[in-house]
A and B are shown apart, each in its own frame.
Chain A
């Protein structure tokens, strides 16, 4: 009888942007049931935190709303005045504190409050073991601190910490892999060989390369057109934003026209069986924004937008009605134009539906939280807010069923959505392909090169190059993985033509080997290198014609197994491949494996808490903790 049952296990995976958690392991592993934005709001009392922004209700008309953060006198008001009421605003992020930055915990009290919030939301029974997914940037001392917190705060009977990269490799079921975890502000690259992560050369928290960098990349390009950061963020998450492989011409340029004859492989998202891309594609083909009669996908009618209007300031300026009138007029015009377009469909030169990467312009739905916040701060009262909201919402008709497939594709929580945010339609040009233009991919591929080059065992490197795993929500942007792969391909892959051994220096006659004079053993393949890793022609040439050159580098030094031996082709990579995601998790296949660390955590939790039952010291129990204290945690891991 195992000490723990599947349904008792809690898994928590904190991230810079989103914290994932789940109570219980389902029969078939599912994506995390609880998704929480990794932020808390300062409560009125210093050092305490609230999961949602608490706004003071406008009970007394004279009082304007103020942020609880700086409402130091707020506590007194509560005591003195019973009329003050508070309401939780579950949508806004105004004044939020994000305790994890670049994978590092920067605000511990906030972090602990977040974990407590997550734990309470799960509402676990008493006997719950906890598995925590650790970011690579957390130091051993911080692991101890966390251990102490979990044991003392939650009285958990058993606790274990699993490294995020390790968890990902569990999810994919591979023992050797290079995990590229693209987070919000950072990228971690971990080379794992035979279940052992290489800590020495691990690239931890490479900053300026995560999802936020992509948003900033868009922002830099679109700022002049009136886009805000939040708009770029949502643009990035929309299916029209795409990263094209290096060297792909942008639509509207001459190169693109020339290329038109060729089916755009990247655009068709036919990436071999990769679930996320497929999922995104479905969304992309019928963008869930049926506004009036205009379907986003077909909307190529040129519009004379000077940029994006800052509706929030218009509304705040009290000109909402004028704005609405103007909008209505525009809509009318658009419909007319549409009709006109319908009258002349003979322009057959224009294909009915181009793939996204071929279109110069595309539109997406923007959920304007800032506008909502503005409305709320305008003393309209809840009814007024609702009315204004309804009037401004262009995407109102958008049915909620989008939440079904779209839920994980947007990092906005399932439990936070339904907020009735105001949606607007925004058009973007080719800038949407330029998110990674400022060298994000180059930096990541350089980091991968560094991480793998620092693996001491030279003969393991090519296997590591052949098993790249790109995960993390920062890399969800369409085409990201393919573009990264093509960047590596064009910059690092050693071409087979460099093996020019045929043309030059094969000795025609074999002299007595100088060196040790020993009889060189017959060449054999290096232990870890299959024939696929070396140029087969080169291998054939060296082995057939010169038996005195051991291709696997079989050094004759006793006591030194050929760990650092030269392989036939000393340099890596000769090829780069992504690991195929596992096939047997149907729920994950739908949403993609970007959060595969969580899947791996479920697999690992099953193994360490249920199957292994602590025999391999996979987790620390409460008695262990009482004996050894927090420092003991380092002894417990698989």
Chain B
């Protein structure tokens, strides 16, 4: 335990405040990073990155500015795999490092003598965004970026041992952090809402997870995940557009030079831009997602219940609701009536999801109500009422209009005898970054300091210390 002092000492040197700990909350859509003790992450950087396979070797482009710039042959990739675990560790490391250095710490400046000594392990980390800075700085930025900041990282509830060990290895070896800790997003999201126990429903971009937490500990066997989340809603919208008569084209902003106002449903009259050579098709897909995000924000609505959309007269009622207009970047516009309810219905009702050959019907057990049910089934029966009274809702996709109404309706239908209470932070920032905020709170607690895994301990025990210490 006394080895911890090495990590707390540099922070204590100034004011005793642990502001120098960094909290990193990597997600599929964005990577959040910031200093512990602050209320929002200072750095929110897209997890998507640009990749150009040029003659002079592959080129990686990080950051918001780079991935929206229609460059020739630009591919947009994501280091996360389909199962909600990081797949491409090399790029993920660079990307996370970019998220930390670009907005939090800045490139490190060291006398040239030292930096050349450490060049071997750092040379791969060169930040391509900073390519045009002069050589001196490029060398400096290859210094280990976190040498004086302890790092608290988040992980999904289903993170396998291998991935956890990889995380500590990166933090310790590549970034040189003096202390490290790994915590599950579910626990942190609960902390952010001031709860030590509860059931956490996190609807993110790639995955929805349901995590039962008891006294700050994740009940591992109860953790549920499913791919029905934000990206699923986007693909549902795409399917709806495809099945519409006539088919609705999504033209992203970058292809439009100027648009002209047209009547609803009339074909677009826009001046288009062409690119030669054009960016990769993945770039277009990513830009289309931007339009879909706007669509989700302004049009999509979750059918509020109490029953499913397909039950009884609900569909008729939904049809009678006034539609909401939406205009595409090319000027095409239309009013969306029932369609806007259908896009998100699949989250709750697998049989209502839009399907085609490539998008089979989602599994019933992947819908959010079923996930909650499965999670609760693995918990002691006498704990269930307590958990149901603390349902913490987090993740960007829960911002869908009327999502919480529907969720509560579904839960009340399944558990009519308990007092079900949804805890959803009103502030959007808190809802989107709940896990990060929980991490910020945790890492700035005085009592947390005994939990850090110090560099010394890591060197003594190796990577598997993370399994022992971070439960």
A contact set with B: CB distance below 8 Å? 101-102, 104, 106-108, 138-142, 199-201, 203-207, 246-247, 442-443, 446-447, 449-450, 453, 456-458, 490-492, 494-501, 503-507, 511, 514-516, 542, 546, 549, 553, 555-557, 559-561, 563-566, 569-571, 627-632, 634
Contact = CB atoms under 8 A, between A and B. Distances in A.
B327 A494 contact: yes
A632 B15 CA distance: 8
5 nearest A-B residue pairs (beta carbon): A570-B298, A498-B333, A495-B261, A629-B14, A490-B258
Contacts, number: 196
A141 B322 contact: no
B214 to A, nearest CB: 24
A504 B319 CA distance: 11
A142 B109 CA distance: 11
A292 to B, nearest CB: 44
B254 to A, nearest CB: 7
B325 A499 contact: yes
A207 B264 contact: no
A393 B404 CA distance: 75
B321 A507 contact: yes
A491 B253 contact: yes
A106 B133 contact: yes
A457 B431 CA distance: 12
Interface in B245-272: 253-254, 256-259, 261-265
B87 interface: no
B321 A139 contact: no
A442 B256 CA distance: 10
A511 B322 contact: no
A571 B14 contact: no
Nearest to A246: B258
A542 B322 contact: yes
9 contacts: A101-B132, A107-B136, A458-B297, A491-B253, A504-B264, A504-B335, A507-B322, A563-B427, A629-B15
Contacts of A506: 322
Contacts of A549: 321-322
Interface stretch (B64-72, B114-122, B164-172): B64-72
Contact of B65 (A207, A247, A449, A514): A207
A272 B427 CA distance: 39
A287 B112 CA distance: 51
Interface stretch (B40-48, B196-204, B350-358): B40-48
A88 B290 CA distance: 55
Contacts of B273: 442
B69 A557 contact: no
A199 B40 contact: yes
Given A140-B104, A494-B327, A500-B265, 10 more contacts: A101-B134, A139-B102, A139-B105, A201-B44, A453-B290, A453-B293, A500-B334, A501-B325, A506-B322, A555-B401
A434 to B, nearest CB: 16
A564 B301 CA distance: 12
A491 B259 contact: yes
A627 B429 CA distance: 33
B311 to A, nearest CB: 11
Contacts of B290: 453
A107 B326 contact: no
Nearest to A549: B322
A346 to B, nearest CB: 43
A504 B65 contact: no
Contacts of B103: 139, 199, 204
B19 interface: yes
Interface string B42-80: 101000000000000000000011001100000000000
B285 interface: no
A101 B428 contact: no
A571 B261 contact: no
B301 to A, nearest CB: 8
Nearest to B427: A563
A437 to B, nearest CB: 12
B223 to A, nearest CB: 26
Contact of A456 (B13, B294, B429): B429
Nearest to A453: B294
Contacts of B326: 498, 570-571
A447 B290 CA distance: 13
Interface of B: 13-15, 17, 19-20, 35, 40-42, 44, 64-65, 68-69, 101-106, 109, 132-134, 136-137, 253-254, 256-259, 261-265, 273, 290, 293-294, 297-299, 301, 304-306, 313-314, 317-327, 329, 331, 333-335, 337, 399, 401-402, 404-405, 424, 426-429, 432
A631 B331 contact: no
Contact of A490 (B109, B259, B320): B259
A27 B334 CA distance: 56
Contacts of B254: 446
Contact of A511 (B299, B317, B334): B317
Nearest to B105: A141
Nearest to B14: A629
Contacts of B256: 491
B343 to A, nearest CB: 14
Contact of B335 (A142, A490, A501, A627): A501
Nearest to B327: A498
A140 B65 contact: no
Contacts of B134: 101, 106-107
B299 A560 contact: no
B439 to A, nearest CB: 16
Contacts of A560: 404, 424, 426
A566 B253 contact: no
Contact of B304 (A142, A515, A570, A627): A515
B260 to A, nearest CB: 8
A631 B15 contact: yes
A32 B68 CA distance: 36
A235 B304 CA distance: 61
A141 B104 contact: yes
A446 B70 CA distance: 11
Given A107-B136, A490-B258, A629 B322 contact: no
Contact of B325 (A450, A500, A630): A500
A563 B297 contact: no
A627 B16 CA distance: 11
Nearest to B332: A498
Contacts of B136: 107
A515 B325 contact: no
A516 B335 contact: no
Contacts of B429: 200, 456
Contacts of B404: 557, 560
A516 B404 CA distance: 12
B32 to A, nearest CB: 9
A494 B42 CA distance: 31
Nearest to B129: A207
Contact of B14 (A561, A569, A632): A632
B314 A505 contact: no
Given A457-B428, A515-B305, A564-B428, A205 B65 contact: yes
B133 A570 contact: no
Contacts of A443: 69
B337 A631 contact: no
Contacts of B399: 564
B324 A511 contact: no
B264 A500 contact: yes
A140 B17 CA distance: 15
Nearest to B424: A560
A504 B335 CA distance: 8
B269 to A, nearest CB: 11
Given A203-B65, A495-B331, A140 B323 contact: no
Contacts of A559: 424, 426
A514 B314 contact: yes
